[in-house]
Structure 1
Amino acid sequence: MNPSGLEKQFYDFFERNTSVMLLINPEIGKILDANPSAQQFYGFTRNQLIGMPISQLNLLSPEKILEEMKLAVSEKRNYFRFQHRLSNGEIRNVEVHSTPLISNQETLLFSIIHDVTDRTLAEAKVATLLDEKEILLREVHHRIKNNMSMIYSLLELQIDSIKHPSAISALTDAASRVQSMAMLYDKLYLTQDYDQISVSQYLNSLTSEIVSNFPNSEFISLELDIDDADLDVKRLQYLGIIVNEILTNIMKYAFEKHQEGNISISGRILNTDYLMSIKDNGKGMPESIDFENPSGFGLSLIQFLSKRLNAILSIERKNGTEIHIRLPIKIS
């Protein structure tokens, strides 16, 4: 193509650029010029490329190619992904940036072509690996859940075989902790996101299950109003164990035998924190119980996990007991 039809500066840029470049007549879909990089990439001489229908390179139908060129001419789109055929028959995946160019009162398309075949293959490989990872993680979570369920069942069997009250209490508490973790892995098995899981979905199931495990559960009403938030799995596991310990304590000690009672649990997002409240209308937690100076394994576990969560715990003793748990949604 004679440079008199274009500014010489552009023509020099076109000729010397290492990127693959074509000038195309969008009305008839034919190549008007190809720079040396295009000749090298496609494996055709300049004379072979000039006048060649673009459909000889592009695998789309001629009609579809004309539609795409109209979009480029009208500037409705300037980025495209195509498959182009080289002179040796090899198919390459390309990204094409096209923009209209006026020359001698004629609208042409100036197209810059990038070969992205290797990147496309790499992306496909990564997608396959991610699929395989998801399948593996799903299987791992399923097996962990099954193993924890087995441990829970063994603890239940052991509880049935012993008579000592303190041993029964200790094993029951251990079984409850295992159950809370098994439930988390069950949720992970069903979710599509293995990094985060719904707080409300997990805690609604967990709290209902904990309460129902106690013989006095038929006398206790459970009110749940837990807003959703996304916590990473590890932090949600810690929170689940803390809630398990608090609820277990309430069900054991807050109400007299066959006493009707109420437990309300709420969860709210407050700026960058998540605030949980667990309230009962039972006989109240003794003043001797202090999260800062715990006595007993359960309270020590709550204190330990709270520190891991950067959580703040507080107790209100009025018409029963209300425990507040405030933790950052994300660790910075």
Structure 2
Amino acid sequence: MVPETSPQVMHRDNKFYQMMFELSRDAILTIEPPSWCVTACNIASVKLFNASCKEDLLTKEFPQISPHYQPDGELSLEKARRIIEHAFQEGRIVFDWRCKRFTGQEFPASIQINRIEINGEKVLQATIRDVTEEQHLKEEQQATQQQLVATEEELRVRYNELKHVENKLRASEAKYRTLTENTLDIIYSIDPQGIITYIGPQVARYGFMPEDFISHNIREIILEEDLGRILKEGKTTILTGKPIRTAFRTRDRAGNIVWFEDNSSFLVDPTGKTGVRTGVLRDITEQKETEERVRKSEELYHSLAETSQDLIYIINAQDRIEYVNSYAAAALGKTYEEIINMDRGAVFPPEISLGQQQYLNMVFATGKPSRFESQILLLGVTRWLDHALNPLKYPDGTVRAVLCISRDITDLKQTEDALKASLDAKNALLREIHHQVKNNLQVVIGLLLFQASTVSSPEIARIVLDTETRIRSMVLIHERLYKSEDFVNISLDTYIKDLVNSLICAYGTKTYINVKYSVDKIQIDQSTLLHLGLLITEVISNCIRHAFTGRSIGTISLAFHRKENNGLILSIHDDGIGIPESCLNKKASTVGLQLISLLGQDQLDGKILIERENGTTFTFTFDYTSQKEEK
């Protein structure tokens, strides 16, 4: 037998190594310096990295079959270089690595790198194993272990809780029994056949004892009108397993109807069979009566709205019509269905829609009612409408909608126009009457002046002049009424000034008279002003003729003020020589003083005070209730 030569042995070993290399279930790569590229790989490597052939892996660097970063955040390129250098120096290294297949899928791997010699050259051989399943198993094992620990702890805690609950249940059993028996609600229990097995003592409020119901069917206490509905709801609840919430009527011992709200549920036994039904009955009679009153009230208001001859509609915050009554729908020429939930602008004519918007915005913003009038074309006829806008609010005060009531006031407007035209005509007539009276008095004054010029007696001339000034005070009143828009009241301030100036001019005195006025803005009716004007005329005439004898200048102060309690006070003061004492100590003998007394006391029902300090002061006080302050 010929001994094997060394090359033959090497060839056989290489072949054996190649076979083991290819048959390995782990991926094996050969990496050679200096580039550390893959120079050889087995079939398992192709499968592991989802390559199409070995050539896809050859010449690849280790980082090229890895993601950009490893799980610890380090760059795969830098980390791979460091590991390869370490393996080449130490001869062996085992580590975990994150690889990437050609499809882009990443997977965890366990890698062992060994330094080997091939044909006398030192290279690195990397054995790569996909540990995805192992990692999952490990994670699941850890999770299971943690779950077992948690379950054990939970069971221990649960056991302690159950013991605690058991103790609490025992401790509170008496308390709950007391609560059950003292609550206003009635707690009950019935068996599957509807027989009452327990009912609370609260039935005493209705004239019964619990014994009156025990062993009786619950159907016996429900009024016949509600019984069918209640039985149907009970069957539905059994099928669905949901709790019952319903209401029914019964009667108390006196025969009065009582409403109860029933909240109950069925208890299911371990076999899944429906068993006992337990529940709570709450007296809702007052609530039902309130609901009935509200329903009737709503029906009444709806009936009133529907029979009203006003346009009634509700506009919500979205500017849509929420409600409209029949009259409004007919007036707008549309049906109820054509208006409800429509935009307001699409229902009302543009001319009214724009006007409404301003007032609606105001009501929504302020929460306060508003009102306005407008003309609108309804069914081809222009009508006047009075619009009342009232806010409808949520409990928090926010306006949710606006109730609008539009009333046809066309006839009222026409009547108003007719009255205004009639009033204008009467005002024109009154103005003409005052004009004629003024002219007639002017004629009388002219006749008096003519008569005075024909007499030689100074005394007669003075009497005529006094009469002329008195008539002139009346002329001024009618002149003011003729020029005024108010035929009842006359402004006192301007009248007094004009009257005093006319008196100074009429008497033609050589003394310069300075008049000081302090007059409140008061309006006086013509009847009172006629007497007041004559009174002022007499006092001012007396001042002009007698107070400033021998003087070149004098001062008259006239004040007219309002007092409390509807009182007026007139004060006329001159700084002249003063009225003689004899005139104050005896009854007035002159015509002027007699007129002053007659006008001040009798006609004006006032009081007169005459003082002689620093001249003469006439003070008149009287009540006057119909005056009004000028605006």
TM-score range, shorter chain: 0.7 to 0.9
2:583 maps to 289
**C-alpha distance 60-173 of structure 1, shift in aligned 2 (>3 A):** same
Q: What are the equivalent positions in structure 2 for 1:251-266 lying under 5 Å apart?
A: 251-256=544-549, 258-266=550-558
Task: Give structure 1 stretches of 5+ with no counterpart.
Answer: 1-6
Deviations 1:116-147 (A, max 9, x none): 22222222223333333333332222222222
Give me the TM-score of the superposition, normalised by structure 2. 0.45
In 2: Cα distance, 1:98 partner to 1:266 partner: 53
- Distance in 2, matches of 1:10 and 1:97, equals 22
CA contact (8 A) 1:26 1:69 kept: no
**Structure label with greater radius of gyration:** 2
**2 CA distance for matches of 1:320 and 1:15?**
80
Q: Which residue of 2 aligns with 1:34?
A: 324
- Correspondence for 2:384: 93
2:537 is paired with a residue whose SS is helix
Offset at residue 76 of structure 1 (A):
5.5
In 2, the alpha carbon distance for the partners of 1:145 and 1:292 equals 38
Q: In the superposition, relative to structure 1, how do residues 59 and 310 fare at CA in structure 2: closer, same or farther (>3 Å)?
A: farther
Equivalent residues of 2:368, 2:391 under 8 A apart: no
Rounded Cα–Cα distance in structure 1 between residues aligned with 2:313 and 2:434: 53
**Which runs of structure 2 are paired with 1:138-177 in the superposition (5 Å)?**
138-177=431-470
Q: CA deviation at 1:177?
A: 0.6
Q: Which of 568, 573, 584 lines up with 1:274 in the alignment?
A: 568
Match of 2:534 among 241, 255, 275: 241
Question: 2: distance between equivalents of 1:141 and 1:23?
Answer: 54
* Percent of paired sites with the same residue: 25
| Whole-Å separation in 2 of the counterparts to 1:107 and 1:316 | 72
Unmatched segments (≥5 aa) in structure 2: 1-293
C-alpha distance in 1 between matches for 2:357 and 2:612 = 76
Instruction: For 1:44-193, list aligned pairs within 5 A.
Output: 45-47=335-337, 49-50=339-340, 54=344, 56-58=347-349, 60=351, 62-74=353-365, 75=367, 77-87=369-379, 89-101=380-392, 107-193=400-486
Deviates more, 1:106-115 or 1:199-208: 106-115
Provide the rounded CA distance (Å) in 1 between the counterparts of 2:594 and 2:443. Answer: 26
Q: Which amino acid aligns with 1:173?
A: D
Which is further off, 112-121 or 72-81?
A: 72-81
Q: Which amino acid aligns with 1:98?
A: L
Q: 1:218 aligns with which of 507, 510, 514?
A: 510
Q: Matches of 1:174 and 1:221 in 2, distance apart?
A: 22
Q: Quick check: 290-299 or 319-328, which moved more? A: 290-299
The 1:259/1:157 distance shift into structure 2, 3 A limit, reads: same
Counterpart residue type for residue 278 of structure 1: I
CA distance in 2, matches of 1:41, 1:290: 80
Calculate the aligned-residue CA RMSD, in Å: 3.2
Rounded to whole Å, the distance in 2 between the matches of 1:81 and 1:291 is 68
Greater mean deviation of Cα atoms: 299-308 or 173-182: 299-308
Change (3 A) 1:293 1:53: farther
State the match for 2:523 in structure 1.
230
CA distance in 1, matches of 2:303, 2:376: 23
TM-score (norm 1): 0.81
Quote the residue 1:3 is aligned against.
none
How far is the alpha carbon of 1:148 from its aligned partner? 1.5
- Counterpart residue identity of residue 36, structure 1: S
Q: What is the match of residue 324 of structure 1?
A: 619
Residue deviations 1:42-97 (CA, integer Å, cap 9, x gap): 5654345546765554462544444443334333553232334333x222222222
